[in-house]
Structures are given as structure tokens and as C-alpha cells.
Chain A
Amino acid sequence: MTDVPQQKPDLAEVVLAARNVAKSYGNVHALKGVNFDIHRGQVTTLFGENGAGKSTLMKILSGVIQPTSGEIILDGKPVAFNNSTEARDRGISIIHQELSLAPNLSVRDNIFMGREIMGPTGVDFAEEERQARRLMAELEEDIDPLTPVEELRLGQQQIVEIARALSVDSRILIMDEPTSALSASEVEVLFKVIRDLTAKGVSIVYISHHLEEALQITDHAVVLRDGTMTAYAPRAGIDLEWIVRNMVGDNYDLGSPPEGHVFGEVALSVRDLTVADPKGGAFNVVDRLSLDLRAGEVVCIYGLMGAGRTELLETVAGRLRASSGEVVLEGREISHLSIAERIARGLALVPEDRQRDGLVQTMSVGENLSLASIASFTKGLFTQKKAERALIDASIREVTVKTSGPAAAIGSLSGGNQQKVVIGKMLATKPRVIMLDEPSRGIDIGAKAEVFKLLAEEAKRGLAVIYSTSEVGECLSIAHRIIVMHKGRISAEFDSNVSKEKIMAASGESVAA
């Protein structure tokens, strides 16, 4: 390509580089021309918010997906990987953010999946087991290689994923959020392993939301925002403040909680709600939780992954069954009602995963928007085209969906606009209470600001809002009240004048490095 990167990197030191790499999915531009260098024997950390394009970039570097344009340079020569096996053969391996293990197979079989060690009579299981044991010892983890992966806890599964990447003896190892489920001591061990690897000349790419943690290990920092690289610096030139400033940008202002209106009656009341683990675990994912929400009030539920926020909201919405406790909507007990009946009474949920739970990909933008309110435009046997069209048009205007029209395919919209469609679909049911589960995940900052403005306006008109998030900054700019959840319970409750550190401390997150 004609565009030479601005900084002239020391090519001898750079083992793998991305040049002007872009990736689009339809109209969604996940990456908009990114340059990225990986230095031999060093740790390069990639910072960025959700949806900034970090995982997309890593998937391109490891051959999982192919870039729309731009090139990848390995040892100074352009290369193209058609799949992750080709990349692995050239010494690049990746630890994915989502675990990619076969839960029914043993630790040993998972580690050697796809590149089994062959002996004269088929797979050499003894050799595989020996190597698996050695890897577990190296990671200081007491796991028997013959244990099925499904019997391990999440953190141990992550260790297996790491062991698999280590077993390849790669030159370049990409770690996408490897510590999200690890305990502090496991993180220490991982860092020791990383230092051993870099000493041997292995290059590491590290991605983490845990900024302080990443600062401990990194040699270089690269910051991505909305699919473009916003900053690059070696370790000496960075600190926490630098990272955050480059991650969120200068115009990072999501406003403040809506003011100037009086809260109404209690709209939603949750009493001693207990929900058993739907996956059959021994602990309750929601544990005797009580909560009151008044009309016009915006309550933020903050917590880490696995704190039970999603389960709480899904139980209130009627997807999951509570094992005890009650849910009262505007004075009426609704625990026995179906999802449809709860929606009809004015309780709406915007689910966490919009692709899996929010959108019907085979339907158009308009059909998705009207999906939850079909009854309102059905007369007798048939739906009324005119009434539906009016509802869709009003909805598109209200939540400001940028689309070529109601007939457009839902996949043609950007992530932020898809999220607005999910929100618009639930607002079209004219709810009294709306619950949003991580609605800002994977949407850009502009869309986020628009969603916040919309919620503030609705709250002023008397809508009660529950907003669940794992980003502290969001709580402070939208919520009248912040509830922190930890292991299924409310661990703290704050008003909107609290500091970020206090909220994070209550969630069980380690703030001090």
C-alpha cells in the first residue's frame, strides 16, 4: 500500500506488524486502518473500551478472520493467513477472550486438540499426558490432565486455555483478556510465566480491562478507540491517566443524571428474590435480594461479570424462574406471569447480548422494532399495515435509528444502531419500568451518549429505569442511585456523588495494584 506508517519502527525488532488494517462487517466498521507493531521478546498491551476493535485486530493477526484491507507483515515480509492453523504454523497463537474449549473432553485432549501427538499406534496419549502435566506444573495449577474441562471452575478453564497456547511453543502469543476469571495469585503466576517467555524471546500481546494489572507487565502500550489507533508509547511514557485519556477521548462527557423532576410512587419492588444457578451450580446466582425503584428514577446496578446482574434482570423479566421471593410491579405481584404478560403490564427488558437475545437477524429493521408490540396493531385476525408503519416510524424517530428505511436488513446497521433498535422495540411497548442489561457493550461513544440522553428524557416523563453495567463511569453519568452487586447480593448502595474507587471496591474488584 502507498500509506507508509508515520513512525519509523525499528524493523529488526518488530516481528509482526499490521499496516493500515481495516475490517468491516457490512456497514459496521470494526477497524478503520490500524498500524500495530509487536516487538521481539516484549509485551505489547492493547488498551481500549468495549467495541474499540481490540479483539477484531487480534483475530486478524492470528488468522481467525481476514482483514477487509491492509496487510500483515511477519519478519519484514507481507503474509496472508487464511485461517488460524496457518498462523499457528508460523508461530502465532492466541488465547481467546471467550473460552474455546470442548467441555466434554479432558484437559489433556483440549490442550492437544487439532494437533494430537501421533505414535505408531495412533494418538500417543501417554506423551500428551506427560506434557499436559508439565504445563500444569509450570502454571502452578493442581489440575489432573484427565479431568473433563466441564468439571473445572471458570478460572481453571482459563488456565487450560493458556496452557494450550503455551504448548505450541509459539514465537508470538496473543492473550485477549486472559485474567478475567483468574484469582490474584493465579494472575501472579501468569505474569511469572509471561516474564519467562519474554526472556526466551517470545513476543506477547496482552489485552486487559484491568489497567493497573496490565501496567505491571507491559513494555509498550497501544490505545484503540472506535477502530482507530489513538496513541502509542513505550512503558516509560505512560501512566494510568494517559491510558484513560486516550481510551475515552477528550469529548468524553455522557452528561449527568437527569434532574429537576420528582420521583413518583414505587414502580417496581423486588422482595427477597433468590434464583438458583440455572447451570446447576451449588450457589444461588441471586441471593435474597431486595430492591425498590420509583417512577422517574434511574438506578444503576454495577458489578463484575458473574455478579448475578443478568440473572436478576432476567428473573424480573420472566425468563428465569425465582426459587423464592416476589416481584411487585405497581403494587401487583407478577411472579407467576409470563414474559408477554409482564410486557403487557409495562415491564420491559433490553437483554445483555443483542445478537443472541435482542434481534431477529432474519427480519427487517421495522419488523424487529414492532416485534414486542404486535398486539397493538392487530385487529381481529390480521395485523394492520398502516398502524404498524406508524409505530415503526415513531420508534425510528424516537430512538434516532440511522437506517435506509424500515425494510433494511437488521445486519446492515452499525452496532450502536442495532442496540437502539432493541431499545426502541421495548420502548414501543410503552413500559412503566425498563431494565437495560449492559446496553453500551460494543457501541461507540456517540451512540452511547444518545442512549443516555434518551433514557434521561424518558425518566423525566416518569419511566423507571434499571441500568446494569460493568463500567463505573456510566453509573456516575446516568444514575440517581448506584447499587453494587457482588455474588448475587447487594454489597453497597450509593447516591450519585460517590467516587469511582468506592464503587469498585464494593464490587470486589482489586483497585490497588
Chain B
Amino acid sequence: MSDTTLARTAAAKPAFSLGRLLLEGRAFFALILIVAVFSFLSPNYFTVSNFLIMASHVAIYGILAVGMLLVILNGGIDLSVGSVLALSGVIAGALMQGVEMQALGVILYPPVWAVVVLTCALGAAVGAVNGVLIAWFKVPAFVATLGVMYVARGVALLMTNGLTYNNLSGRPELGNTGFDWLGFNRLAGIPISVLVLAGIAVLAGLMLSRSAFGRWLYASGGNERAADLSGVPVKRVKITVYTLSGMLAAVAGLVLSSQLTSAGPTAGTTYELTAIAAVVIGGAALTGGRGTVRGTMLGAFVIGFLSDGLVIIGISSYWQTVFTGAVIVLAVLMNSIQYGKGPRKG
């Protein structure tokens, strides 16, 4: 009897590890599959210029997804990033139009670098509000960020009265040109937005794998009580991740309004869900403590390349929605297969 048991485990081993490989590398294999299928279906898909265009689309989701990954690693969720993205775009737009100081009777036109810095600071501030609500006032992350999502969207609508800033190019005599650089220019043939995404991903990856903060984040997401008792400043970690998520939403907002050369208060609606989807497809656990930047990047590219591919081969955008949804459900299913095994804490 023991012989059969032995034989079975021996036979099961190689099959098991192949399944394991496919399971763990699923986002990567999914991406290859998507590229292969669309390259077969359309001659225009597998070209360098198309990949660069698609990558610049992915950049927006990707930047949001990195922030979302940090929050999800902490065991939280940030529903406000789409609204913060819109608010940041509108603020940037307003700053580009000039700030009128009525008391002094002057209109200030801040240079583009100042617009960028101010906008990022605003995004970080909104994120910090999320973090403080969640860490100090114990508001559930879902509710706190849902509330901030509405408030940020409302403020963006109020500021513009529902309209869109169309002229973001600035004027040479005022010295505030160059806003379109982020969205349009290229360095060595690569869109700036893609480089921004790459830079953010590398920094976040280093932070997660090499810094003490990264270790704190994984620990407090995996078991907050144990992390707390081991001396990890769990509240500070929490506030930091929401602040970073807000700041990255602002960066995404800048990139998007630069790409569109306009800033509207309704931009980025439901982008938070796309970001969450990218993180989940990338293999992160919504319960916290598990996930990588690499996986999240793959997840963002899976979503971006899939939806752009469907556009290129001319499939209705309604079908795109169906496909994206199916991919997300499939990803979560795989996650529960990967993490659902073994003993759970009782």
C-alpha cells in the first residue's frame, strides 16, 4: 500500500510543477497569448509603432495600478484614484489658465514644473486624507475612499462648472509652455509617458523588494497585529501607501491631460476599477501581503493590449467590456487556486 502511495507522488510531481509554472506565470503567458492571437488576426498589431502607442495607453492604468498595488498589499483598497486623476487634471488645467490674485490685481502663470509639483502635492494630500481616515479613525478603506471618490469628483465638477479646459499648451510670452511634453514627446523613440511608467515601476519595485518600508508593507498587509507587535509602525505604513497612491493618481492625471491636451472633470471614471483589475490579474491577493510590481505591470499590459487589440480588429466596444470582465474573473479564480491551498489560520 505504501508502494502505491510512493509511486503516485513520484508520478504526480512533474505534472504538478508544470501546472505550478503555468499558474504562477499566468499573467505572462496570458500576455504572450494575447499578442500572438492579435498578431495573427491583424497585420498592424505586431509593429513597433503600434506597441509604443498601446504602451502609452497602458501608462495611465499602469501608474494607477502601481499605487493600487501598494494599497492592496496593505490589505486595503483605494476607490478614489479615478476621481483624484480627474481632479488633478482640472487643477493642472486651472493653473495653466493662470491664477488670478484679485487683491493684488495680477494673474500668475506658474511655470509647468511648478504646475506638476503642485498637482502631485494635491494628489498626495487627498491620499493622505484617505490614509488618516483609515489608519487613525478606523473608517473601512472601502467606505473612506468611496467617500473621497465622490468628493474629489464633485470638486472637479464645481471648479470647471462641468466644462473642460481645452487649452493647456500655454503661451511662450508667459513662459509656461511645454505641458504637452509628457503626453506627446519621445525620448529615443519611446513616449515619455511610458518612460514615466517604467521609472515609477522600477522605483516601486526597489522599494518593495529592498527597502525596510517594503518589508513593513508586506508584513502589515500579511498580518497587521503580528507586524505591530514586531515593532512595525503599521499606522505610518498605512498613511504612506494611500498618500503614494494619491500622488501616483495625480501623475496619471497629468499624463492623461497632457496626452489629450485638455482636462475634463469627468476624466478617469471607473479607472480605479481598471487599476484594481490590473493588480488582481498580476496575482496580488486582495487580502493583502501578496503581490509584486512585475505582476501588476503584466496585469496592466494584459488589459491594455487586450482592449487595444479588440479595437484594432474592429470588435465592438461592448464586447471589449465583456472580455475584460471575463479576464478579471478568470484571474481571481486563479488567485484563489494559488492561495486557497494549505492550512489557513484558525
Spell out A's residues near B (CB within 8 Å).
Answer: 2, 25-26, 28, 317, 319, 338-340, 342-344, 349, 351, 355-363, 367, 371-372, 374-375, 378, 381-383, 409, 411, 425, 429
Contact = CB atoms under 8 A, between A and B. Distances in A.
A383 B210 contact: yes
Contacts of A319: 228-229
Contacts of A349: 229
Given A26-B342, A411-B343, A363 B218 contact: yes
B340 interface: no
B230 A356 contact: no
B232 interface: yes
A74 to B, nearest CB: 25
A371 B231 CA distance: 8
A378 B215 CA distance: 11
A317 B229 contact: yes
Nearest to B227: A360
A349 B1 CA distance: 47
Contact of B233 (A26, A338, A382): A338
B219 interface: yes
A411 B342 contact: yes
A357 B221 CA distance: 13
19 contacts: A26-B342, A317-B229, A319-B228, A338-B231, A338-B233, A340-B232, A344-B231, A356-B345, A361-B289, A363-B218, A371-B226, A371-B230, A371-B232, A372-B230, A378-B211, A378-B212, A381-B211, A382-B206, A425-B230
Interface string B232-274: 1100000000000000000000000000000000000000000
Given A339-B228, A340-B232, A371-B227, A360 B219 contact: yes
B186 interface: no
A382 B229 contact: no
Contact of A26 (B1, B215, B343): B343
Contact of A360 (B210, B222, B231): B222
Contact of A374 (B212, B223, B229, B345): B212
Given A25-B343, A411-B342, A358 B211 contact: no
A163 to B, nearest CB: 25
A355 B346 CA distance: 8
Nearest to A374: B212
Interface string B198-227: 000000001000111001101101110111
A374 B103 CA distance: 53
A358 B226 contact: yes
Of A28, A342, A374, the most chain B CB neighbours within 10 A belong to: A374
A188 B302 CA distance: 66
A343 B229 CA distance: 9
A361 B289 CA distance: 9
Contacts of A356: 223, 225-226, 345
The 6 closest A-B pairs by CB, nearest first: A362-B289, A362-B222, A340-B231, A25-B343, A360-B222, A372-B230
Contacts of A363: 218-219, 222, 289
A317 B228 CA distance: 11
A310 to B, nearest CB: 12
Contacts of B216: 374
Contacts of B233: 338, 340
B290 interface: yes
Contacts of A383: 210-212, 215
A158 B218 CA distance: 38
A311 to B, nearest CB: 14
Contacts of A338: 231, 233
Given A351-B229, A360-B227, 12 more contacts: A317-B229, A338-B231, A344-B231, A357-B225, A359-B223, A360-B223, A363-B219, A367-B218, A371-B226, A372-B231, A381-B210, A409-B342
A319 B289 CA distance: 22
A225 B29 CA distance: 49
Nearest to A410: B222
Nearest to B219: A360
Nearest to A314: B229
Nearest to B215: A374
Contacts of B285: 362
A359 B226 contact: yes
B323 to A, nearest CB: 31
A360 B289 contact: yes
Contacts of B228: 319, 339
Nearest to A340: B231
A26 B346 CA distance: 14
Contacts of B288: 362
A356 B227 CA distance: 10
B63 to A, nearest CB: 22
Contacts of B342: 25-26, 409, 411
Between A319, A382, A425, the greatest number of chain B beta carbons within 10 A of the residue's beta carbon is seen for A382
Contacts of B219: 360, 363, 367, 371
Given A349-B229, A351-B229, A383-B215, A28 B289 contact: no
Contacts of A409: 342
Contacts of A381: 210-211
Interface in B91-108: none
A142 B342 CA distance: 44
Contacts of B218: 360, 362-363, 367
A277 to B, nearest CB: 19
Contacts of A360: 218-219, 222-223, 226-227, 289
A28 B211 CA distance: 33
Contacts of A375: 212
A362 B221 contact: yes
A381 B210 CA distance: 8
A28 B225 CA distance: 24
Interface in B1-16: 1
Contacts of B232: 340, 371
Contacts of A429: 231
Contacts of A362: 218, 221-223, 285, 288-290
A31 B210 CA distance: 41
Contacts of A342: 231
